[in-house]
C-alpha cells in the first residue's frame, strides 16, 4: 500500500507555460514534504521542501503548495523551461526518529520548446 | 571529487555470482543509505548507517549484505541474487540520521541479474 502517490506518470508542457505536478499522501502523521528531481543517468537531487506548518513555499520558479486537509501537495514550475524536463519525485517524512523518507513513483515532465 | 560517487555504473551478473557495489561520499556526512528503485515502483529504503553503525534494515533479504567501514564509504555485497533483484541501486548520504535532512544521492548502479 503506497503512502505517497503520484498518479500521473507523465506530463507534457510547452516552454513558458506552468507545470503542475501533483502528489497525494495517506498518512496524516507526515509533517515534512520534499520534491526531488532526477535526470537520466543521475541520482535524484533535492529541489524544494515544505513543513506541515506552512501551506506554501517558494524558491524562484518553483513553488510547493500543501493542502493538509486534502492530504495533497503540488509543485508548480513557472515558467517551465526545457531544462526542467526530468522525473520529479515527491517524498514525505515523519518528524520523529531518523530520516525515513517515503517516496512516490515519480512523474516524468517533458517541457517542449 | 565532490558529492556521492557510486561504482560501477552498470553491472550484469548471474544468479551464482558474488559482486559488490561501492559508494563514497566526500561531503563529510555522518549518515549513509542504500535505496533500491525498481521499474514503476517508489524508491525503497534498504539500509541506513549512522557513523558506521547500522540503524535500519528494512526487511531486506540476506543475499544483500551492507558494509560501512567508515563514515565515507558504504558497500553493498551481493550474492545469489534473483532476476527480480534487477533494479537501480542508489546510495545517499545526509549530515545526520534525522528527519528533515535532505538526502544527497549518487548516480546509482544499474544492476541486471540474469
- The reply to whether residue A103 touches residue B42, judged by beta carbons under 8 angstroms, is yes
> Which has the closest alpha carbon to B77: B37, B32, B19, B12?
B19
pLDDT on residue A60: 97
| Residue B71 touches partner A, C-beta closer than 8 Å | no
Nearest to A41 among B92, B101, B107 (CB): B107
Does the CB of B45 have a partner CB in chain A at under 8 Å? Answer: yes
Task: Kindly state whether B40 is in contact with chain A, defined as any CB-CB distance less than 8 angstroms.
Answer: yes
All three cell numbers of A16: 513558458
Share of chain A above pLDDT 70, in %: 95
CA pair distance A59, A75, nearest whole angstrom: 11
pLDDT tens sequence across B51-107: 888 887 778 999 999 999 999 999 999 999 999 999 999 999 998 886 556 899 999
Strands B53-57 and B4-7: unpaired
Rounded (5°) CA angle B5-B10-B12: 140
Please answer yes or no on whether A46 and B106 come within 8 Å at the CB atom.
Answer: no
Amino acid at each position: 500500500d503506497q503512502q505517497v502517490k503520484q498518479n500521473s506518470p507523465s506530463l507534457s508542457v510547452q516552454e513558458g507555460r506552468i507545470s503542475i505536478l501533483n502528489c497525494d499522501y495517506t498518512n496524516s502523521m507526515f509533517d515534512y514534504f520534499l520534491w526531488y528531481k532526477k535526470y537520466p543517468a543521475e541520482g535524484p537531487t533535492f529541489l524544494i521542501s515544505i513543513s506541515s506548518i506552512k501551506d506554501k513555499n517558494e524558491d524562484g520558479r518553483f513553488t510547493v503548495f500543501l493542502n493538509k486537509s486534502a492530504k495533497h501537495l503540488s509543485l508548480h514550475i513557472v515558467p517551465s523551461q526545457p531544462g526542467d524536463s526530468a522525473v520529479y519525485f515527491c517524498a514525505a517524512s515523519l518528524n520523529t526518529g531518523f530520516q525515513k523518507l517515503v517516496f512516490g513513483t515519480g512523474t516524468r515532465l517533458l517541457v517542449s520548446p | 571529487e565532490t558529492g556521492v560517487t557510486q561504482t560501477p555504473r552498470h553491472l550484469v551478473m548471474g544468479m551464482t555470482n558474488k559482486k559488490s557495489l561501492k559508494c563514497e561520499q566526500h561531503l563529510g556526512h555522518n549518515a549513509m543509505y542504500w535505496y533500491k528503485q525498481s521499474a514503476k515502483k517508489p524508491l525503497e529504503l534498504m539500509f541506513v548507517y549512522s557513523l558506521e553503525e547500522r540503524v535500519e534494515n528494512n526487511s531486506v533479504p540476506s543475499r544483500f549484505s551492507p558494509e560501512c567501514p567508515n563514515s565515507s564509504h558504504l558497500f553493498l555485497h551481493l550474492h545469489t541474487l534473483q532476476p527480480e533483484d534487477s533494479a537501480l541501486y542508489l546510495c545517499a548520504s545526509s549530515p545526520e540520521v534525522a528527519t528533515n535532512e535532505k538526502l544527497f544521492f549518487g548516480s546509482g548502479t544499474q544492476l541486471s541479474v540474469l
